Homo-oligomer: A and B are copies of this chain.
């Protein structure tokens, strides 16, 4: 497979055949492989020695459901460790049609340079695009389409121009709307620090070749059956979207509310999945649930949230945003949250980290919880890049340090996602130990049949989940397949073999996950992130979470066993 290598310092571009040792790796795994082998883990995240990577999975473009996610990676300015973030949309598919496995960007253009990497079937080039600096994501996409025609886009926004840690990498969806965020870890700032504002992937009108089409079709149809038979993947996601989690977390008493000070939100009804479905379908117009972000998706968790007149506000309004820019700010106005979401997308920022930073500022007394206007102002500060905007844009941990506030929900410098770890302790274990920092996708545990309030067995649950989730990320399969395909990962490996000609065995699915985690741990250890950093902030051990009176009480010695028993 081809790797497109770009040096923004030299302004050079080369297509290379991947080395043999990279062949089995894709997505998050390829990122771990390249970063552990090709960079000094102590390099400064926003300096020339970091590497920015865009890659995809082996099934992208094959038409298999949920297989076209795109992974971006590099050393995170937020955590100081290795980072992979992935998103849906059409970038994975476009990379596959271009027969490119990864784009690897090194070096650094002179300060202030704003470039676009344009890739088509024949070649790739860097063009200057100073007009994109400071321009919102939606307008950036329009400008790029005018200049280069319809393309899949990988973008960073105005926040990344300021090198803000909250900066996401934004990607286009099936319809070319740049609302799919590879949100976490500040990778938008890493991309921007290279002098790269956008990657434009031009369409290729060719099918992605399959090594064994017959075997592929057979394996795919079996997997499709599991997907269509499972209530989550066939129904819940396509009606409620990820917002179905609001109800679950409310009942567990772990729905982050007012900067993690309560586990239930009195206005939770307003943001529940069922409510969201009702509002969207009643308003109609552009609004829809069951929207696929990528071609061929059977799960269709995405939605388009319309205003009362049916005009699109944002796609997709998701659980993490509903909580981190909603209940955790004391806000239950779903229209306001949708507007925040659109503004965050346009700024190119992670709604989790940005919401968490605003929540810390509210908790510290800068604004009142529940104040919609304050959030709008906060986002305008970020857009303006003034001092307050830059503080918030530096993320929750720095916001807390600047304001001298002690209730700061971060691990390794990155904000907790929308699950209070006192009520879902397996998630707390993941937050504490994942090489990614406090990242829900790194080892989601809510679906496990355990007593989430008990500290017992949570390390095992998190370990199982972290390995499996890492495997999904290596293959850049959407983890929402999980409930349908968890027991059929042998079939997934067959599908991969039939598509690419690889020789994976059934046990290789989890092996990829384990090996990926070990590479990431190795990178982090050499970057100076060690087991002392595998812990939650102290207030979660001390402050009791109501209504179930919970603290986080998984002992640290237990946490330290997670990876020693991998």
Chain A residues with CB under 8 Å of chain B are 41-44, 46-47, 49, 77, 162-165, 189, 387-388, 390-391, 394, 398, 401-404, 406, 526-533, 535, 537-538
Min CB distance A534 to B, Å, is 9
Given the contacts A394-B401, A401-B398, A406 and B528 also touching, CB distance less than 8 Å: no
Partner of A49, one of B47, B387, B391, B538: B538
* Distance, CA A294 to CA B43, complexed state (A): 45
Instruction: Return the 9 tightest CB-CB contacts between A and B, nearest first.
Output: A163-B404, A528-B532, A390-B402, A387-B388, A528-B533, A44-B538, A394-B402, A387-B387, A162-B404
* Distance, CA A390 to CA B392, complexed state (A): 13
Partner of A402, one of B402, B406, B538: B402
Asked if residues A165 and B49 are in contact (CB atoms below 8 Å), the reply is no
Residues of B within 8 A of A189 (CB): 404
* Distance, CA A403 to CA B163, complexed state (A): 8
Measured CB to CB, the nearest residue on chain B to A390 is: B402
Residues of B within 8 A of A531 (CB): 528
Given the contacts A398-B401, A404-B390, A532 and B538 also touching, CB distance less than 8 Å: no
Measured CB to CB, the nearest residue on chain B to A43 is: B538
* Distance, CA A42 to CA B189, complexed state (A): 29
A-B contact pairs, 28 of them (CB 8 A): A41-B532, A42-B532, A42-B535, A43-B538, A44-B406, A44-B537, A47-B406, A47-B538, A49-B538, A77-B401, A162-B404, A164-B404, A387-B387, A387-B388, A387-B391, A390-B403, A390-B404, A391-B402, A394-B398, A394-B401, A398-B398, A398-B402, A402-B402, A527-B532, A528-B529, A528-B531, A528-B532, A528-B533
Residues of B within 8 A of A390 (CB): 391, 402-404
Residues of B within 8 A of A44 (CB): 406, 537-538
Min CB distance A480 to B, Å, is 34
Question: This chain: how many copies in the complex?
Answer: 2
Residues of B within 8 A of A49 (CB): 538
* Distance, CA A533 to CA B164, complexed state (A): 23
Asked if residues A406 and B538 are in contact (CB atoms below 8 Å), the reply is no
5 further A-B pairs in the complex, CB-CB below 8 A; given A189-B404, A394-B401, A398-B402: A44-B406, A46-B406, A398-B398, A528-B531, A528-B533
* Distance, CA A529 to CA B42, complexed state (A): 13
Residues of B within 8 A of A46 (CB): 404, 406
* Distance, CA A164 to CA B405, complexed state (A): 10
Measured CB to CB, the nearest residue on chain B to A41 is: B532
Residues of B within 8 A of A391 (CB): 387, 390-391, 402
Residues of B within 8 A of A404 (CB): 46, 162-164, 189, 390
Min CB distance A162 to B, Å, is 5
Residues of B within 8 A of A537 (CB): 44
Residues of B within 8 A of A162 (CB): 404
Residues of B within 8 A of A398 (CB): 394, 398, 401-402
Min CB distance A562 to B, Å, is 16
* Distance, CA A528 to CA B165, complexed state (A): 22
Residues of B within 8 A of A388 (CB): 387
Point out which of A391, A527, A532 has the most chain B C-beta atoms below 10 A from its C-beta.
A532
Min CB distance A286 to B, Å, is 36
Measured CB to CB, the nearest residue on chain B to A526 is: B532
Measured CB to CB, the nearest residue on chain B to A78 is: B401
* Distance, CA A535 to CA B80, complexed state (A): 14
Measured CB to CB, the nearest residue on chain B to A44 is: B538
* Distance, CA A394 to CA B400, complexed state (A): 10
* Distance, CA A353 to CA B527, complexed state (A): 25
